Amino acid sequence: VKIADLSTAEIEKASADVSDEAIDRTIDILRKQRRSFAQRAQGSAADDGDRVTVDFAGKIDGEPFDGGKADDFQFVVGEGQMLKEFEDAVRGMKVGESKTFPLAFPADYPGQDVAGKSADFMVTLKNLEAGHLPEVNEAFAKSLGVKDATVEALRADIRKNLEREVKFRLNTRNKQAVMDALLAKAELDLPKASVQA
């Protein structure tokens, strides 16, 4: 192995700071993880952020298919847990209501047997709950195990954790940049036995 003059190698050292926006996004994620749900009033229509319980059955060319049927299935409307067409069909429904709708599975859908195909679904809305996000306050900070149980301490803990994660990723990226620069400047003479093997 011969390594050429490295004085001409250029390596850009990546760096990044943790912004207040990144801390706010992390707090939003934590709030979503700890949200509670309460029964919506009778006659309410399903909307984004609501947790719904549905029964559904789908058919392709009039025939049931694997994964196309479920009872008491729960998901939160508008969070992308279901295909958009499915969520759009459920949005606006009321408890006890049933609906039939067409759904086109994308060509890149993970289920190969249904990818690129069209199905007809029957869905019945059985339960509807509104999501409630916790307030960002001392009780929220305490529920997350923050030592001082203040919002300021929560933000400081999140900043410290994000900075540690960013530092780890940047170190990994910087090490890879050094290795790439070394490989670009190195001449590797492989033994004939290795090449022919």
Q: What is the pLDDT of residues 79-107, one digit of tens each?
A: 999 999 999 999 999 999 999 999 999 99
Residue 175 has φ and ψ, to the nearest 5°, of -60, -40
Count of the separate structural domains present in the chain: 1
HEC letters along 75-125: EECCCCCCCHHHHHHHCCCCCCCEEEEEEECCCCCCCCCCCCCEEEEEEEE
In the predicted structure, residue 197 carries a pLDDT above the cut 60: no
Instruction: Say whether pLDDT at 158 is over 70.
Output: yes
Q: Is residue 91 part of a domain?
A: yes
The answer as to whether 124 is a domain residue is: yes
Instruction: Tell whether 197 is covered by a domain.
Output: no
Residue 140 included in any domain: no
The full length of the chain comes to 197
What is the model's pTM? Answer: 0.69
Tens digits of per-residue pLDDT, 44-79? 999 999 999 999 999 999 999 999 999 999 999 999
Is residue 27 a part of any domain in this protein? no
Q: What is the CATH number of the domain that holds 102?
A: 3.10.50.40
Question: Would 76 be classed as within a structural domain?
Answer: yes
Domain of 98?
36-132
Listed in sequence order, the residues at least 6 apart from 78 whose beta carbon sits closer than 8 Å to its beta carbon are: 47, 48, 49, 87, 91
Q: pLDDT band at 18, cuts 50/70/90? A: confident
Residue 144 placed within a domain: no
In a domain, 168, yes or no: no
How does DSSP classify residue 197?
-
